[in-house]
Amino acid sequence: MAHTVERAADRGKEGTVRVTADSAPKRRRKPPTPYLLIAPALILLAVVLLWPIVQMVWYSLTSFTTRNLLPNQPGPEWNNFAHYQRLLTDPEFWTILRNTVVVCVLMVGITMVLGTLIGILLHKLPKWFSTIVSVGMMLAWATPALSASLVFRWLFLPERGLVNVTLDRLPDWLVGSGWLEYNWFLQPGSLFTILITVIVWQSFPFVAVSVLAGLKSIPNELYEAAKMDGASAWKSFWNVTFPMLRPLFALLLVLQIIWDLRVFTQLYILANSFQNKDVYLLSYYIYQQGFSASPANYGMGSAIAVVMTLMILAVTAYYLRIMIRQGETR
């Protein structure tokens, strides 16, 4: 719809331009050139965000450390691909990369499935009830990452946290014993479990609400026709809902992958230091190399950042394709 309006407006504009040019050449109301209008935003974006991407690649090929920032020190030396060579032969890096991918896949997978199911649930519930549930979900969605991480840390705290206390009170045959003192934040498996819980808790509402909006746009006749053909709920989802919402699902998937690959704040609070390399994810590793290691190694941090950016750009390429197909760039 919006595109039709836009195109109509464009046509209108071209028309006027021609008319003005023909009939009133003397009128001097020259519109400000569009380049002048985008210049301030473009300059800011180029200096603050675009140029650093180029520099990131450059720094990753040099021996840039904190020392090189001090006055009267020589600049960083050209290092070729030494950082990348070290990364590729470092089992620690491969573990972190693997963990990042696995944790991201789990976060995205659980968020998408849960969000879709809840979107369908909201669609089936009567309006008043679905509104109440939606408002509840908004609370989870709106909670700042930092507050969310802190409250989950508090929930899973050894000795006093509600989860540990509750698990301890449940019968042993059901959940096992020794939960009260159990520390979730030491081992990668349990820490990542909580990390995934926090992320899913914060991101399923967006998926659910988007799917709900999508479901509302599917004409009911399609479902009635499927019902007449004797389709089960499962079949009508795969043969009606999914094909209709395919572009939406693709977009949600891409956005979730990009957002979950970069998770930092939540891990920063849950891990609470840079001591335990077992619980690093890529973004955490970048930060540790750049600002927490001594001496801070900007070159190595940049090399890891390049790896992460390449992963994200690969996903972004797909996102761009969707956007271009939908006409968002016209």
What is the footprint of other proteins within residues 122-151 (CB under 8 A)? 122, 124-125, 129-130, 132-133, 136-148, 150-151
Rounded least distance, CB 26 to other proteins, Å:
15
2 binds other proteins (CB under 8 A): yes
Q: What is the 3-state secondary structure (H, E, C) of 249-288?
A: HHHHHHHHHHHHHCCCHHHHHHHCCCCCHHHCCHHHHHHH
CA pair distance 11, 7, nearest whole angstrom: 6
Q: Which amino acid makes up residue 13?
A: K
Q: Which one, 66 or 239, has the nearer CB to other proteins? A: 66
Residue 32 Rama label (left phi>0; alpha psi -120 to 50; beta): beta
Six token digits for residue 108:
């995205």
Q: Which one, 27 or 174, has the nearer CB to other proteins? A: 27
Q: x-or-dash pattern for other proteins, window 167-186, by CB under 8 A? A: -------------x------
Site for other proteins in 265-304 (CB under 8 A): 265, 268-269, 272, 283, 286-287, 290-291, 298, 301-302
Site for other proteins in 50-89 (CB under 8 A): 50-53, 55-56, 59, 64, 69, 71
Binder among 165, 186, 240, 293 for other proteins (CB under 8 A): 165
203 binds other proteins (CB under 8 A): no
Q: x-or-dash pattern for other proteins, window 244-263, by CB under 8 A? A: ---xx--xx--x--x--xx-
DSSP string, 115-153: HHHHHHHHHHS-HHHHHHHHHHHHHHHHS-HHHHHHHHH
How many helices and strands in the chain, by DSSP H and E? 16, 0
- Residue 222, Cβ neighbours under 10 Å: how many? 15
Q: Output helix, strand, coil percentages for the chain, rounded to the nearest 5.
A: 75, 0, 25
108 binds other proteins (CB under 8 A): no
330 binds other proteins (CB under 8 A): yes
229 binds other proteins (CB under 8 A): no
Instruction: Tell me the three state secondary structure of residue 214.
Output: helix
Q: Which one, 261 or 279, has the nearer CB to other proteins? A: 261
Task: Return the sign of the alpha-carbon dihedral for residues 103, 106, 112, 117.
Answer: negative
Rounded least distance, CB 159 to other proteins, Å:
7
Q: Which one, 186 or 255, has the nearer CB to other proteins? A: 255
Q: Which one, 45 or 175, has the nearer CB to other proteins? A: 45
Site for other proteins in 309-328 (CB under 8 A): 309, 312-313, 315-316, 319-320, 322-324, 326-328
